[in-house]
Amino acid sequence: MVLVYTRYSVDKPQRQEVRFSSWLHTEPDIRPSRLLQAAEADYKDVTDTSGIAVDPSDDEGVWIAQIFAAKDKAGFPRRIAVGRVFGSSAKH
């Protein structure tokens, strides 16, 4: 099972972080959360939309995506953090 979510940093002003947690069926408890995307900008009017899908190439990896507040030179206040979770790690 994989869960992707956002949380706010303890810094002021609050900044959004994208994190994920995983729980393998062979383990007794959920693993500690891991950072997928560090905070980049103040959290203002950003929708909290995420998605998760099993990787069709191997049926073992899981792709995760989450919108986050970004600091973008082009003026776009949002980006999507994307990562692939498999075993004990994530790549993005």
- Which two tokens mark 18? 């994208």
- As for how many domains the chain has, the answer is 1
User: Picking from 4-8, 18-22, 84-88, which range would have the lowest pLDDT averaged per residue?
Assistant: 84-88
Give residue 75's pLDDT band: very low, low, confident or very high (50, 70, 90): low
Give residue 60's pLDDT band: very low, low, confident or very high (50, 70, 90): confident
Domain of residue 45: give its range.
Answer: 2-91
CB 67 within 8 A of CB 46: yes
Give the model confidence (pLDDT) of 23-47 as tens digits.
888 889 999 999 898 877 776 655 6
For residue 92, the model assigns a pLDDT of 47
- Averaged over 55-73, what is the pLDDT? 83
- Per-residue CA distances from 68 to 24, 26, 48, 60, 87 (Å): 26, 32, 8, 26, 25
